[in-house]
Amino acid sequence: MALVLGIDSSTQSTKALLVDAADGRVVETRTAPHPPGTEVDPRAWLEAVDTATDGLLERADAVSVGGQQHGMVALDEDAAPVRDALLWNDTRSAGSARDLIDEMGGPQACADAIGSVLVASFTSAKLRWLRDHEPEHAARVHRVLLPHDYVSLHLAADGTGPFTDRGDASGTGYFATAESRWRPDLLEQALGRAAELPRVVAPGAVGAETARGAVLAGGTGDNMGAALGMALEPGDVLVSVGTSGVASAVSTTPVADGTGVVTGFADASGGFLPMVTTMNAAGILDLQARWLGVDHDGLAALALESAPGAGGVTLLPYYGGERTPNRPDAVGTWTGLRPATTRADLARAAYEALLCSLADAVDRLVAATGVQPHRVLMVGGATKSAALRALAPAVLGCPVVLPPAGEYVALGAARQAAWALAGTDAPPTWPAPETTVLEAEPTPHVREVYADLRERTAPWTTSTTTNTTANTTTNLSNPEGTS
C-alpha cells in the first residue's frame, strides 16, 4: 500500500495527514501549533512540521505541503530570515498596496498584469512596506519565498533549490497568472532591488525528493489545496469559514477584476480559482463568545433563542479592517441597540453578520465569473456550530452542502502528492464523502439591513479603489434560473 503525506502549514498550526494513495483514506493525523500574531519567525513553522510529521514522514512514499497564502518570507544570502515573516492578515502594508497600484497604472492595469488588484495581503505590498520602513532589512534580501515554499525546502534533500506552484505564486503580486510566469520586474519594483524566486513546478509534477528519497510535490496555497482536497468542479462554490472567510470557485478561464473584489488566482490543477476573501470570519464568533462569557456551544444556544434580524441589532464585523470590501482601516460597528436588546440578540447578530459577509463574497464571485452555482458548499471549524448550520441556508438564501469535518487543505496536499507519485495527467479520483444538505426558509431582510449599514459606513474606506457590494443579492435559491 502506497502512503502519501499531506501537510497544511496554516496560520494557526501544522496539520499532517498520512493517506492511502489508492483511495484517500486517512491513516493517521498529527498536529502542532504555531505562534500567534501577524508576524512570526518562520523557523517556528519548521519546528512545527518536524513535530507534526514525526513518525509519519518515514512512512510516506510522497509528500506535499499546502500553506497559508501571501506571507512574506525574506531570506538573506545564508538562507536565514532577515526578519519575522509578515503574514497575509498583517495590514500594515495597505498603503504600500495602493502605491503599487498607482505605479502600475491603476486597478484594472494591475488586474490585467497579475490577475488581481493588490491589497495589503499580497507579498509584493509587504515587500514595498519593507523597502520603505525597514531599508536595512530590505537591503539584505536575497530570496523571497512563500510560507509553503519555505516548509517544502526544509523537507527537501540537501542541495535542492526552492520551488513553488502556480496556485500559490498567483497570490504574490509578481506573477502573471494568466500566463503562468514570474514578473521579476514587479518584484524589483516592490522591493527596490532584484531577488531570487523559486522555480515553478507544473501541476502534478515532482518538485524534489525528501532526504530519504520520497517524492516531494510542488505544494500549493491553502485555498488551492482545499479545492483539490474536495475535488471541486466548475459550478461548485466553496465557502470556507476559518480565520478568514473565503468564497472560491474552479474556473477554466482567468479572471481580471479591476474592482479588486475578486482575486484571479490560479488553482493547483492547471485551471483558475477566482476567490473573494474576508479578513473577519470565525474570529467574529470567538470575540462575541468572550464578550458574553460563554463557550461556542453557549453562544450558539443563545443565538437560536433570538429571531431572524436579532431584534433589530445589526453588526458590521470589520474588527481588524476588511479586505472585501477593501477597508483596511475599518472597525466593527453595532447598530440597533435598545434597552430591550437581549444577550440572545447580540449572539444572533454576530452569526448573521458573519453569514451576510460571506453571502456578499458569494455574490461578487458569481458576478465576476458569470456562472450561477450548482452547489454551495461550506467548510471550516465554525461549521460545527449548531447556530451556523441553522442560519447559513437562511441568510445565504439557498441549500448549503456540508461535507464531513476534515482537514481538506492537508487532504488536497495528499492528493497532490499521490498525483506526483503516480505521474498521471490528472489527480487521482478518490471516493466522495457523504454530505449533509442544510435547508431553511430564506431571510432576505437580514441581508437588506446589513447591506444598508455596510453602504452607510463606506466613507470609512481609505483605499483609492473603494470596493463595495451593491444592495442586490444573487438568486441562490434558484441557482439554475429555472422555475
In the sheet with 245-249, reading across from the earlier edge strand, the strands are 263-266, 272-278, 245-249, 236-241, 375-379, 400-402, 436-438
Indicate whether 166 and 272 sit together in one domain: no
User: Residue 56: which CATH number?
Assistant: 3.30.420.40
Question: What is the pLDDT, as a whole number, of residue 328?
Answer: 81
| 267 noted as active-site residue | no
Question: What is the pLDDT, as a whole number, of residue 463?
Answer: 37
Q: List the grid coordinates of 125.
A: 505590498
Closest CA to 88 of 263, 217, 307, 218: 263
Domain-terminating residue out of 215, 230, 245 = 230
58, 91 Cβ separation under 8 angstroms: no
Which among 165, 168, 222, 363 is annotated as catalytic?
222
424, 400 Cβ separation under 8 angstroms: no
Q: Is residue 438 one of the residues assigned to a domain?
A: no
Can you name the residues that pair with 438 across neighbouring β-strands?
400
365, 257 Cβ separation under 8 angstroms: no
280, 318 Cβ separation under 8 angstroms: yes
Indicate whether 226 and 291 sit together in one domain: no
Number of structural domains the chain divides into:
2
Q: Is residue 410 one of the residues assigned to a domain?
A: no
Rounded to two decimals, what is the model's pTM?
A: 0.83
Indicate whether 197 and 130 sit together in one domain: yes
The residue whose grid cell reads 542541495 is 159
For the four alpha carbons of 384, 353, 120 and 228, in that order, the dihedral sign comes to: positive
Helix axes 94-104, 184-191, angle to 10 degrees: 130
The residue whose grid cell reads 523557523 is 43
Question: What is the pLDDT, as a whole number, of residue 462?
Answer: 39
Indicate whether 198 and 277 sit together in one domain: no
Indicate whether 127 and 213 sit together in one domain: yes
299, 278 Cβ separation under 8 angstroms: no
CA 291, distance to chain mean position in Å, is: 27
97, 120 Cβ separation under 8 angstroms: yes
Q: Which residues span the domain enclosing 96?
A: 3-230
Can you name the residues that pair with 63 across neighbouring β-strands?
5, 216
| Alpha carbon distance 318, 340 (integer Å) | 25
Reading the chain (483 residues) residue by residue, the pLDDT tens digits are 899 999 999 999 999 999 999 999 999 999 999 999 999 999 999 999 999 999 999 999 999 999 999 999 999 999 999 999 999 999 999 999 999 999 999 999 999 999 999 999 999 999 999 999 999 999 999 999 999 999 999 999 998 999 999 999 999 999 999 999 999 999 999 999 999 999 999 999 999 999 999 999 999 999 899 999 999 988 899 999 988 898 999 888 899 999 888 999 999 999 999 999 898 999 999 999 999 999 999 999 999 999 999 999 999 999 989 888 878 889 999 999 999 999 999 999 999 999 999 999 999 999 888 888 899 999 988 999 999 999 999 999 999 999 998 899 999 999 999 999 999 999 999 998 899 999 999 999 999 999 999 999 875 443 333 333 333 333 333 333 322
